[in-house]
Amino acid sequence: MEDKLSTTSQLDLARRDFLKGLALAGAAMALPSVAGAADANVITGYGVTTAQLKDWSIMEKSTGLKMQFSTVAGNDIGALIRDVISSGVGDKFDLVFFAGGSHNILGPRGFYAVLDEKRPELTLWDRTSDVWKRSSAVVGPDGKQYGVPVTGNADSFGYFADKIGVNPDGQEDVSWQMLFENERTHGRAAFSRTWNYSAPATALYLKESGKAKIENPADLTPDEAKTVVDFLVARKKAGQFKTLIASFEEQVQLLTSREVDIANCWEPATREANKKLGDGAVRYAYTIEGYTKWGQAAYIAMQATKRDNLSNIYKTLNYFLGGEYRAYQAKDRGYGGPNMDLGVQYAIDNKWPEADVTELKESLVKIERKYKKPFVANYAPSNADAIEQEWQRFLSA
């Protein structure tokens, strides 16, 4: 059975086609740059949906800059890399938005520009925490700064407190053991079928619980990958998992229907479920062991540095560090990001309802609390092929 959502099969294709892509890219980079938009006040973006504002007119009203955004097909790092290398993405778009990982390949090879941290438009750069601006999601393996952090979170699992027997206020730290091997959730747990989301979380649990010796859950060796999958195969055969989740929509449906009691999922899935079930019906876990931490970033396409809207591109990057963008991302998706305090202040200054301000303050506390725990996601681990091979064994079990 093929894991249709796995980034690895696509990344593998990207690797195999890489020399061909470089040849195409070399030819493309020799051509004159093509402006992403005729109007210098129009910024063109390409990337993941979750980096977007739901209404870009908000940014236009406050900055005078318009965003034209095109969405990459899925959260697929391999497809994104091939698009940038072979399809002239930089000829059409100023900014590329994606979770950390693509810059490790595209940055050092000249497809993303190195960020000029001294640009006067980046008025919020110095006050942005190194936790965000120096993270592996924006700094390349060559030590160069390729991205500006946009948003991020620390993922875990959604649960019904009454079903798993914890405090209904959602403030209790819950072990990943509740998802993997607890009698309360036996046969009532949903697990993601995507290895890059699920295998590292499993490895984290095994490491922190002392069940296995694993050096880095985000960068498994082949032997460690086998250990993780051996554990998951045993749990699958024991009937722990009711289903394997293939999409965000499934996450929402499983929680909304109460078909499962616990599911490793994205936090927005719990927010969508609670719109139907009522506030607090589903809680998103604070965990004992740690989280799948991830960050999305905005990268400047190299071709964009030759266009006459570079100043406005940097103004846009600075906007992503400011309070307005932060407040709306937290309100709409529950995501964190750099300068969360500015988001809270923005909501206060713009007289948002007290309930919204309180929620933003809680999001600030939530992110600070979660980021004290270990674990960082890795979209391009060193042994992706071996992990993928092992993961197929789990899917087929």
**Domain topology for 7-152+294-343:** D-Maltodextrin-Binding Protein; domain 2 (3.40.190)
What is the rounded CA–CA span in Å between residue 279 and residue 271? 8
> CA dihedral defined by 230, 232, 238, 243, rounded to 10 degrees?
-150
What average pLDDT does this structure show over 208-232? 96
Residue-range domain boundaries for the chain: 7-152+294-343, 157-290+378-396
The model carries a pTM of 0.78
Nearest to 320 by CA among 69, 143, 35: 69
29 burial level (CB within 10 Å; 0-12, 13-18, 19+):
middle
List, for residues 308-343, the tens digit of each pLDDT value.
Answer: 999 999 999 999 999 999 999 999 888 889 999 999
Note the pLDDT tens digit of each residue in 347-386: 999 999 999 999 899 988 998 899 888 777 777 788 988 9
Closest CA to 196 of 333, 393, 9, 397: 9
Going through the chain in order, the beta strands assigned E by DSSP cover 42-47, 66-71, 95-99, 147-155, 158-159, 173-174, 189-192, 241-245, 262-263, 283-284, 286-287, 292-300
Q: Which residues pair with 302 in a beta bridge?
A: none
Higher pLDDT, 165 or 104: 165
Q: What is the phi/psi pair of residue 294, to 5°?
A: -145, 160
Please tell me the distance from the alpha carbon of residue 129 to that of residue 133, in angstroms, as a whole number: 6
Q: Which CATH class is domain 157-290+378-396?
A: alpha beta
C-alpha–C-alpha distance, residues 52 and 153, integer Å: 15
pLDDT for 4 beyond 50: no
Mean pLDDT of 73-98: 84
Please compute the mean of the pLDDT values over residues 116-144 and round it to a whole number. 94
